[in-house]
């Protein structure tokens, strides 16, 4: 049951060209920094990346875009990345933009084994093009399908050898649901504690979902937009 690894590159080497990846985080908060670095070293190409956003030009998934590793982005917000914009406008990058709540629910549905659901978000917009709609109680809803991945890379605060995870603050965003929706799930943490030390009432991701656990030595935790008072 010991899921701790020390060689992250050996695990990331299993990622094949053309695979679909989920990468946790919200903005730059809670992103799997070490996993992204390992993906850069792996050189895997033509990847489909599912993430709330695409990082910034010189950090996060933005580095993978610079290295031309990403074929398609499935995201909700991409406004902080000039290279992303350039690749999109030039036709180099395929992009599926999804309302944020719909993105979260499609990932959750993938982890829960629910192949489709109906939502009012996106009805009457470009999001609805080519999708089935139905009426419930006099209101039109749009059918959306689940999202699943070959690999999910998530970032947590604490974990134990069995893979039980706790997140902290805003990092508890897309990470928990992505941990349920990948065939192989790699979790990186800031601290590994002995089994039994985590209060079961505060375990956010049960270890049954986790295949590998890696401890990062130090995290940059860059702030995307810093706003301070005068």
Per-residue model confidence as pLDDT tens digits over 168-211:
998 899 999 999 999 999 999 999 999 999 999 999 999 999 99
pTM of the model: 0.94
In whole angstroms, give the CA distance from residue 65 to residue 75: 14
Strand partners, 96: 74
3-class SS at 126? helix
pLDDT tens for 95-121 read 999 999 999 999 999 999 999 999 999
Task: Please give the structure tokens belonging to residue 229.
Answer: 């008072």
Asked if 59 and 38 count as a contact pair (C-beta separation under 8 A), the reply is no
For strand 116-119 and strand 139-145, is the pairing parallel, antiparallel, or unpaired? antiparallel
Structural domains of the chain, with CATH: 4-115+147-215 (3.40.1080.10)
pLDDT tens for 37-96 read 999 999 999 999 999 998 898 899 999 999 999 999 999 987 778 899 899 999 999 999
Contacts of 187 (CB under 8 A, 6+ apart): 154, 155, 156, 159, 163, 165, 179, 205, 210, 212, 213, 214
Q: C-alpha angle with apex 73: 64 to 96, nearest 5 degrees?
A: 165
Task: Please give the structure tokens belonging to residue 221.
Answer: 């935790």
Question: Would you mind telling me the total number of residues written for the chain in this entry?
Answer: 230
**What is the predicted pLDDT for the residue at 102?**
97
In whole angstroms, give the CA distance from residue 101 to residue 121: 8
Q: Is the dihedral of CA 65, 69, 72, 73 positive or negative?
A: negative
Residue found under tokens 């991409």: 78
Asked if 24 and 173 count as a contact pair (C-beta separation under 8 A), the reply is yes
């Amino acid at each position: 049951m010991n899921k701790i690894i020390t060689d992250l590159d050996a695990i990331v080497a299993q990622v094949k060209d053309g695979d679909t990846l989920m990468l946790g985080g919200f903005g730059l908060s809670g992103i799997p920094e070490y996993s992204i670095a390992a993906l850069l070293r792996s050189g895997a190409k033509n990847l489909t990346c599912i993430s709330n956003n695409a990082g910034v030009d010189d950090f996060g998934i933005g580095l993978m875009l610079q290295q031309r590793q990403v074929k398609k982005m499935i995201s909700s917000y991409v406004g902080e990345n000039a290279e992303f914009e350039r690749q999109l406008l030039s036709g180099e990058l395929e992009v599926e933009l999804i309302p944020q709540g719909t993105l979260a629910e499609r990932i959750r549905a993938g982890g829960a084994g629910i192949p489709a659901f109906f939502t009012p978000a996106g009805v009457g917009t470009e999001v609805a093009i080519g999708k089935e709609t139905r009426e419930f109680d006099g209101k039109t809803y749009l059918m959306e399908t689940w999202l699943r991945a070959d690999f999910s890379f998530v970032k947590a605060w604490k974990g134990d050898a069995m893979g039980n995870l706790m997140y902290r603050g805003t990092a508890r965003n897309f990470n928990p649901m992505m941990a349920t929706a990948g065939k192989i799930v790699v979790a990186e943490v800031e601290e590994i504690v002995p089994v039994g030390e985590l209060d079961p009432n505060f375990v956010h991701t049960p270890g049954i979902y986790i295949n590998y656990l890696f401890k990062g030595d130090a995290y940059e935790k860059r702030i995307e937009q810093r706003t301070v008072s005068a």
